[in-house]
A and B are shown apart, each in its own frame.
Chain A
C-alpha cells in the first residue's frame, strides 16, 4: 500500500464528503420520516425525494460528460467503473431486499451515514445492522463461489 498519492488526495475527498453530507442534510434525505412519506403515495405523500434525484442528475449527467472527456481523472491513474453490465438475479433480488429494508425505516446508506453526525442513537442502530448485513452477504457470496467451484 503506497500512502503517498493517497495522502495527497485526502483533503479533496474530505471536502467532497462535506459537500455530500451537506447535500444529504439540506435535501432532507437525512430524515427517515421524509423518505417514508415519499413512498406513502396512498397517505401523507411528500414528493421531495423526486426533486433530490432531479437536482442530483441535473448536475451529475452534464458533470460526468465533462469528466469523461478526459482520459484519466486528476488524482488517479484511471477511472474505476463497474466492470459488469449484467442484469442478473443478484442485482434484482439484492435491490428488492434493499428496498424492503429502506421502506421499513426510511434509512439508506447515504442517508444514515451523515445522520451519524446528529448524535442520535437511531442511525447507529441502523448502521450496525447494515454493516452486519454486508459482512454476512460477503460470507454467503464467498461460500457460494466455493460451492460453485467444487
Chain B
C-alpha cells in the first residue's frame, strides 16, 4: 500500500531553484555544465585538463554549504542511510561506471541537459529514473518482502 511520507514540497522547490540558479550561474560565467559527474571526473586522473581549479572551487563550495548548515545546528531536513554499509562502495562503483558511460547524472542531464532540451539528456533521465525505481521495488518489495 502506498502512503505519502516526509513530503517537503516548499523546501524541495526552493532547494531545487537554488540548484537551478547555480547551473545558470556556471553557464553564464564559465560556460560550463553544472553536472557533478563531469566536475568530479575532471579532478580525477587521467581526465585532468588544466581546468581543475574551478572544479575544485565548486566542489569545496558544495561541501562547505551543508557543513555550515550542520555546524550552525540548522538542519531542517534529515540525513539517514537506510541500507547496510557494505552496499555503499558497491552502489558507488555502479554509479561511477554508469555516469561515466552515460555521461551525466541528475544534475548534469536532469537540470542542465533538460534545460537545453537535449534529447540525449531526456533519454538518460528517463532511463536512470526507471532503473532506480525498479531497483528500489526489487530491494524493498521482492527481496525485502
Contact = CB atoms under 8 A, between A and B. Distances in A.
A106 B31 CA distance: 30
**Which interface residue of B91, B116, B120 has the most chain A CB atoms within 10 A?**
B91
Given A32-B82, A96-B131, A126-B89, 13 more contacts: A13-B26, A17-B58, A21-B62, A58-B17, A60-B111, A63-B115, A70-B28, A95-B123, A97-B101, A100-B98, A103-B133, A122-B81, A130-B93
Contacts of A109: 36-37, 40, 95, 99, 105, 107
B73 interface: no
A122 B89 CA distance: 9
Interface in B45-104: 45-47, 50-51, 53-55, 57-67, 69-70, 76-83, 85, 87-103
Interface in A129-145: 129-138, 141
Contacts of B30: 9, 12-13, 73, 75-76, 80
B105 to A, nearest CB: 5
Interface string A34-63: 101101111111111101111111111101
Contacts, number: 515
Interface string B21-45: 1111111111111111100110011
Interface residues on B, range: 35 or more
Given A72-B31, A109-B107, A16 B8 contact: no
Contact of B12 (A10, A19, A51, A61): A51
Nearest to B75: A25
Contacts of A57: 16, 20, 111, 114-115
Interface of A: 1-3, 6-7, 9-34, 36-37, 39-49, 51-61, 63-64, 66-67, 70, 72-76, 78-82, 84-87, 90-110, 112-120, 122, 125-138, 141
A105 B37 contact: no
Q: State the main secondary structure of chain A at its contact with B.
A: helix
A116 B46 CA distance: 23
Given A28-B77, A45-B5, A54 B16 contact: yes
B79 A118 contact: yes
Nearest to A96: B131
Contacts of A32: 79-83
Nearest to B51: A6
A125 B58 contact: no
